[in-house]
């Protein structure tokens, strides 16, 4: 039986997933929610560049709730818009409709102490009121640094340390990396994520998750931050990073126990493949790596690509994988008891219906 789906949010990720739902045998799109008034009344097919399908977008939550879908796949804005995300997600949960989302990445591990109660309590109450479940995922934070490393840790007799890396070129990225990361800004500019508490809350949720899964309690979580300044212009999709400005950042989020880093998230984010030449690289461009020092030691490298001739880049492929992780999790989330859902609660999600 196909799962009846409402998709909320037709931004970059939402539009990618819409195109996949239409041809997926396991899901039926019954509604589309949008926050942009200009999209209200438009056909879902047209919103993702396809022929009309007869499902019109709306911003009316009650209309979507009345459809009684099996789940909402929610591709709303980031945690910078927490109040709006909580309003929308909470409304569906209170009505008894499960939600699988990619928006509030600190919810990848709701037990993280950096999550403010005002972000957690309303969703806990909504789940209880409606008897519904809420699952949040992503790529990083998300499956690249929770599902992947935790699965590999299960192949070890002992793990001395585990590192999950994101190594990406942001040249084609059009989001806000200037304010959040400081890329394109003078080196003296302090980016939002450069502030340790904000970095841990925004991108570090999987560190305490992995510690919990391994049965340990970390002594502390610390961070490091480095900048690389270009001496020549670097062209990007957003313009040019001028000489003397930051063209790469390198940060870590470190879960420490007994004076040692045992769990580490590491990011190397560049604009331009030649930037920061001495910093870590994968065996190919734009990869996610897991490195486990243990018995045995393990290295896994994952690359997301399109091979359909569309010319779409690796970042777009990763965004699609992010959205589809939430969609493909719907049947499993439907089968779980009400409440918060994390990667630790889910069974294997093999992608039923994907081979066809």
Tell me the average pLDDT across 282-286: 94
Q: Give residue-wise pLDDT tens across range 17-33.
A: 999 999 999 999 999 99
User: Which residues are 4's β-sheet partners?
Assistant: 28
Task: Name the nearest CA neighbour of 162 among 151, 153, 170.
Answer: 153
Predicted confidence at residue 213, as pLDDT, reads 97
Cis ω for the linkage preceding 141 (within 30 of 0): yes
| 3-137+329-341, CATH topology level | Rossmann fold (3.40.50)
Output the CA–CA distances (angstroms, integers) from residue 255 to 204, 230, 235, 264, 265, in the order listed.
Answer: 9, 31, 36, 6, 9
Cβ(221)–Cβ(252) under 8 Å? no
pLDDT of residue 1: 85
Task: List the chain domain ranges.
Answer: 3-137+329-341, 147-307
Give residues with Cβ within 8 angstroms of 165, minimum separation 6. 265, 266, 267, 268, 280, 282, 287, 288, 289, 290, 291
Predicted local confidence at residue 175, as pLDDT: 79
Structure tokens given for 254 = 């470190």
What pLDDT is stored for residue 277 in this prediction? 96
Question: End-to-end CA distance of the chain, in Å?
Answer: 16
pTM for the complete prediction? 0.95
Express each pLDDT in 313-325 by its tens digit. Answer: 998 999 999 999 9
CA 283 from chain center: how many Å?
23
> What is the chain's mean pLDDT, rounded?
97
Q: How many CB atoms lie within 10 A of CB 10?
A: 23
**pLDDT tens profile 198-241:** 999 999 999 999 999 999 999 999 999 999 999 999 999 999 99
Q: What residues form DSSP beta bridges with 221?
A: 255
Please write the tens of the pLDDT for every residue from 139-192: 999 999 999 999 999 999 999 999 999 999 999 888 789 999 999 999 999 999
Q: What is the DSSP letter of 81?
A: G
């Amino acid at each position: 039986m196909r799962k009846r789906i409402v998709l909320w949010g037709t931004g970059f990720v939402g539009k990618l997933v819409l195109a996949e739902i239409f041809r997926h045998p396991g899901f039926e799109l019954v509604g589309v929610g949008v926050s942009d008034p200009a999209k209200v009344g438009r056909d879902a097919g047209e919103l993702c560049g396809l022929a009309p399908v007869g499902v019109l977008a709306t911003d009316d939550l009650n209309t979507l709730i009345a459809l009684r879908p099996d789940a909402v796949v929610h591709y709303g804005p980031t945690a910078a818009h927490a109040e709006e995300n909580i309003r929308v997600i909470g409304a569906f949960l209170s009505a008894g409709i499960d939600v699988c989302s990619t928006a509030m990445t600190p919810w990848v591990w709701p037990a993280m102490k950096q999550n403010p109660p005002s972000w957690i309590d309303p969703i806990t109450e909504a789940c209880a009121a409606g008897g519904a479940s809420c699952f949040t995922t992503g790529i990083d934070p998300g499956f690249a640094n929770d599902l992947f490393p935790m699965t590999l840790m299960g192949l070890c007799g002992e793990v001395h340390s585990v590192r999950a890396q994101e190594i990406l070129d942001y040249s084609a990225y059009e989001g806000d990396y200037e304010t959040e990361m400081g890329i394109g800004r003078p080196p003296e500019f302090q980016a939002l994520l450069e502030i340790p508490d904000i970095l841990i809350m925004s991108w570090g949720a999987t560190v305490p998750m992995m510690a919990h899964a391994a049965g340990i309690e970390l002594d502390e979580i610390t961070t490091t931050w480095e900048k690389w300044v270009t001496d020549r212009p670097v062209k990007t999709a957003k313009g040019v990073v001028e000489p003397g400005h930051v063209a790469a950042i390198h940060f870590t989020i470190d879960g420490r126990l007994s004076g040692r880093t045992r769990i580490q998230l590491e990011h190397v984010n560049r604009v331009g493949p030649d930037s920061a030449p001495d910093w870590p690289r994968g065996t190919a461009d734009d990869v996610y790596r897991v490195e486990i020092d243990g018995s045995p030691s393990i290295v896994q490298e994952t690359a997301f690509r399109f091979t359909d001739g569309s010319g779409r880049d690796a970042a777009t492929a990763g965004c699609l994988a992010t959205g589809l992780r939430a969609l493909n999790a719907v049947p499993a989330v439907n089968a779980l008891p009400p409440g918060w859902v994390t990667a630790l609660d889910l069974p294997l999600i093999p992608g039923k219906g994907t081979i066809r």
